[in-house]
Amino acid sequence: MEVLENRHVTGRDYILTVRVPLGTIERIKPGQFGMVQVRSSLQFDPLLRRPLGIFNVEGDRVSFLYRVYGRGTELLTKVSPGEEVEILMPLGNSIPENYDRYLFIAGGIGIGGLFLASRWFKERGKEVVFVYGERSSENLSGIEFLRKYGINSVVYTEDGSFGKKGLVTSELQSYEDFVWIACGPTPMMKAVKELAKELNVECYLSLDRRMACGVGACLGCTVKTVNGYKRCCVEGPVFKADEVIF
């Protein structure tokens, strides 16, 4: 797919925007992801495939918000507009659509996997609140999109440099009558899961795993659940919170 933009946002975060083939946008469901293949001298090096949440869609364009963690994402930052990247999408299951009130809980780059879903449900008349937390204001990469699309949001920073001071989980008790959808670092996900259980709230977790194939063939992305091991790329990335064993 043709790269239209690959811009630095803030800190270690970038947004990759590509033009997608006809019919792709219509197939995307909230919470799905794409496997982005970064080219190298080893053309099919599986280590250079990265699962990235589909962050936004506009016209025939799809964007991915990503944070640089290793060789694959580092190489991805070098891709320029006009070049081609291979992307397999949309992949994975999606967020259930049968609720009226959605609370999205994103820790850090977890917003990359949830923003589009929040927009998607808002545009379909659902009540949506987005709770977004980061260490400090320097890392709030997704905030411009929450504003641009008018998503009702509450922002937390751990150092108090923007929004409310505290953790993203600080005031979740106020949203007992919403379904909770969370994506973020493991300690945050554990805390959300525990709180949801305590309050008897329906809760789903969008999990992030290293993936080699993205289509269920390699078993490299397994998630331990109360129903045995499941493949994050096919049975996930969205799991019921009470199903996941950390």
Minimum Å gap between C-beta 215 and ligand FES is: 7
Dist CA 210 CA 222 (whole Å): 9
Residue 220 contacts ligand FES per CB under 6 A? yes
Least distance (Å) from ligand FES to the CB of residue 68? 21
The strands making up 179-183's β-sheet, listed across from edge to edge, are 164-165, 153-157, 127-134, 101-107, 179-183, 203-206, 238-240
61 in Cβ contact with 17 (< 8 Å): yes
Binds ligand FES by CB under 6 A, chosen from 61, 218, 225, 243 = 218
Q: Which is nearer to ligand FES, 88 or 195 (CB)?
A: 88
Q: Least distance in Å: CB of 229 to ligand FES?
A: 11
Give least dist CB 90 to ligand FES, A. Answer: 15
CA pair distance 73, 14, nearest whole angstrom = 9
Number of residues that bind ligand FES (CB under 6 A): 13
Q: Fill in the per-residue mask, 178 to 217: x = in contact with ligand FES (CB under 6 A), - = not in contact.
A: ---------------------------------xxxx-xx
**How far is 125 from 39, CA to CA, in rounded Å?**
40
> What's the CA gap between 208 and 156, in Å, rounded?
22
- Chain residues binding ligand FES by CB under 6 A are 211-214, 216-221, 231-233
